[in-house]
Every structure is written in C-alpha cells, then in structure tokens.
Structure 1
Amino acid sequence: MVITRRWALFLIAVGVWTWVIWPRFGLAIYKDDRSFADGSPTSFLWVHAVLIAASLAIGTTVGVLGVLAWRRARPAEEFAAKVGAGPQD
C-alpha cells in the first residue's frame, strides 16, 4: 500500500492533535471533584486515565506511521517523472 504525502501529513496532524487535546483533558479530569474521595483515586479517575493513555498510545502510533510514510513517499514531481507523465498545463 502506498500512502501519499498528503495522507502522511494528515496522519502526522492527527498525532499532534492527540497530544494537544488529551493532556489538557487529563488535567481537567484530575481537577474534577469526582476524581478523588477521601484522598484516594476513584473509578472515575482510573477509567479516564486508561482512556487517555490508550488515546495517546494510538495517537503516537498514528503520528509515527505518518512520519514514516512522509519519509518514504515520493514527491509528486519525482513520481510523475518516473511514470512518464508531465505537468498538466
């Protein structure tokens, strides 16, 4: 399967977006009154911590795949020259 540079850029953007959004959400959950009862973490906190960790792992994987795809993808001009197609006027 060949991934274009445009799709690779999209995957990288998804990975970056994940790391922008989820830590902020984690901080909001940590500060929520439902996160602790008598100084101990509640199931509310644990469930959200697992969801955040899974989302960050998936986002990181998608971002790394995007970087790898970007590095392996050929620029459009190089691909067109190799196939024998020229730019359309």
Structure 2
Amino acid sequence: MVLSRRWSLLLIAVAVWSWLIWPRFLLAIWDDDRSWTVAHGSAFFWIHVGLIAVSLAFGTAVGVLGILGVRASRHRDR
C-alpha cells in the first residue's frame, strides 16, 4: 500500500492529537473523586487508564505509519 503525502500528514496529525488529548484526560481522571472512592474507585480508575494506554498505543502506531509514509513520499519524489 502506498500512502499519499496528505494521508501521511493526516496520520501524523491524529497521532499528535492523541498525545495532546489523552494525557490531559488522565490528569482529569486522576483529579476526579470517583477515582479514589471505595465504591467504584479501583474499577473507574483502572478502566480509564487502560483506555488511555490503548489509545496512546494506537496513536503512536498511526504516527509511525504517517512518518514512514512521509519519508517514503520524499523518496518517490526524487
């Protein structure tokens, strides 16, 4: 599969977006009182930490694909 330069840049933008948004969400979860209550604290906190970790992993993978696509498009243009 060959990615165009535009699609590659979009993938990089999605990765940057993920890395800007999800750590801030983690801080919001950390500051949320529901993360530390006995009734639902453990499940609430760890489920959200898992979601954040998976989202950052996907964001990283998408970003790597975008970077590889941009690099490949530079070589094709030469």
Q: Same fold per TM (> 0.5)?
A: yes
> What one-letter code is carried by the residue in structure 2 that aligns with 1:4?
S
Equivalent position SS for 2:2 = coil
CA distance in 2, matches of 1:30, 1:62: 26
The reply on whether 1:54 has 2:44 as its aligned counterpart is no
Gaps of 5+ in 2: none
The structure whose residues are more often helix, as a share, is: 2
Number of equivalences: 76
Larger Rg: 1
User: What RMSD in Å do the two structures reach over aligned CA positions?
Assistant: 1.8
Identity %: 58
The structure whose residues are more often strand, as a share, is: 1
Gaps of 5+ in 1: 80-89
> What one-letter code is carried by the residue in structure 2 that aligns with 1:18?
S
Give the alignment of 1:8-87 within 5 angstroms: 8-37=8-37, 42-74=42-74, 78=77
Post-superposition Cα deviations, 1:21-80, rounded to whole Å, max 9, x if no partner, equal 000001000100000136xx511000000000000000000001100010001489x48x
